[in-house]
């Protein structure tokens, strides 16, 4: 396969490498993902994260394994193992459905490689389309609140919600960005803050519980988030805490926008209740661990509820900004590609 590099993925020397997003922003480490077990481990540990990026990394790995000589039956098994690595993000399933079709072709090795590279190129274009469509909704001087990480670290391109913010900032329409820390693993505090700093966009970091006070003081003009899955009725699964922001924005009459590629739509999923929600380790709540070691602040026997995602009802969403354009509540799902 040809050499390839995005913000978070590399293919070089016929091997897949991923930027360790757990180590950011202090360290920029590239780790190998030589086999399925390694990539699944990276996904579970959130070293690889972001719905589009997870799907792309799985697709590239399958293509590389085929080029290394893995036979079709083993590739089919590898595909299903990767499919189960992240239950909430539908991009992974959509990408692997396309890779499965390529695997069924006579020259499956070349077909897998072409399809994986096509998916990367498509994601870059999807991000650009989302950024252009979404920036039209940003009013001059906007103070935007965002949640989780939706930039180039999570995609092959400029990102989804953060791509919109970056594009609008280039147009001189963004005056400030409020960045939620975002559990799990403080992805907003570590990743979004770093990306905004690299882009030269003014921001301030806040805890997930501070948004209400900012909205009450009229310091937020719009909320922009991404999505891991959009159900057929418009309900959205996204990082835990998104639903809280939607409720707050609704109460304070603040627009709440969801930016995502059409590959995040799951028209086979009737509503948010049908979206599987990943549960994460209790240790992420009872303490913290990193290169500095580990600290436990909760009692050793504390019981923990730690979902990685929540579901925002369609009724709380002002618009879905897709690569195909802006979809308003009265036009969903007709204009969303249903």
Catalytic residue ranges: 228
Distance CA 2, CA 5 (A): 10
Provide the 3-class DSSP secondary structure of residue 306.
Answer: coil
DSSP 279: B
146's tokens = 């965002």
Cα–Cα dist 114/335, whole Å? 30
Separation CA 138–CA 102 (nearest Å): 40
Half-sphere exposure of 322 (CA within 13 A, CB side): 22
Find the DSSP H helices in the chain: 36-44, 51-67, 72-83, 90-103, 108-135, 161-170, 187, 193-199, 211-216, 242-251, 283-286
Nearest to 87 by CA among 266, 262, 242: 266
């Amino acid at each position: 396969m040809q050499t390839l590099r995005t913000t978070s993925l590399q293919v070089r020397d016929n091997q897949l490498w991923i930027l360790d997003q757990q180590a950011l922003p202090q360290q920029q480490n590239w780790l190998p993902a030589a086999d399925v077990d390694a990539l699944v481990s990276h996904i579970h540990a959130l070293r690889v994260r972001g719905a589009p990026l997870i799907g792309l990394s799985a697709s590239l790995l399958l293509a590389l394994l085929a080029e290394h000589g893995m036979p079709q039956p083993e590739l089919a098994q590898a595909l299903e193992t990767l499919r189960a690595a992240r239950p909430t993000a539908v991009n992974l399933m959509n990408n692997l459905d396309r890779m499965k079709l390529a695997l069924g072709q006579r020259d499956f090795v070349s077909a897998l490689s072409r399809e994986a590279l096509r998916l990367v190129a498509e994601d870059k274009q999807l991000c650009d389309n989302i950024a252009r469509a979404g920036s039209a909704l940003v009013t001059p001087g906007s103070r935007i609140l965002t949640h989780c990480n939706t930039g180039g670290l999570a995609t092959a391109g400029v990102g989804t919600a953060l791509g919109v913010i970056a594009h609008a900032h280039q147009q001189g329409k963004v005056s400030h960005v409020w960045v939620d820390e975002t559990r799990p693993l403080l992805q907003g505090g570590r990743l979004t803050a770093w990306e905004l700093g690299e882009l030269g966009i003014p921001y301030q970091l806040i805890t997930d519980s501070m948004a209400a006070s900012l909205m009450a003081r009229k310091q937020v003009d719009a909320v922009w988030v991404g999505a891991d899955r959009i159900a057929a009725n418009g309900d959205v699964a996204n990082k835990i805490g998104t639903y809280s922001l939607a409720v707050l924005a609704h109460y304070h009459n603040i627009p709440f926008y969801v930016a995502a590629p059409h590959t995040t739509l799951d028209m086979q999923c009737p509503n948010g209740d049908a979206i599987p929600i990943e549960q994460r380790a209790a240790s992420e709540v009872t303490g913290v661990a990193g290169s500095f070691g580990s600290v436990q602040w909760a009692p050793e026997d504390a019981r923990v509820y730690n979902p990685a995602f929540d579901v925002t009802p369609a009724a709380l969403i002002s618009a879905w900004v897709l690569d195909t354009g802006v979809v308003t509540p009265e036009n969903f799902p007709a204009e969303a590609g249903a």
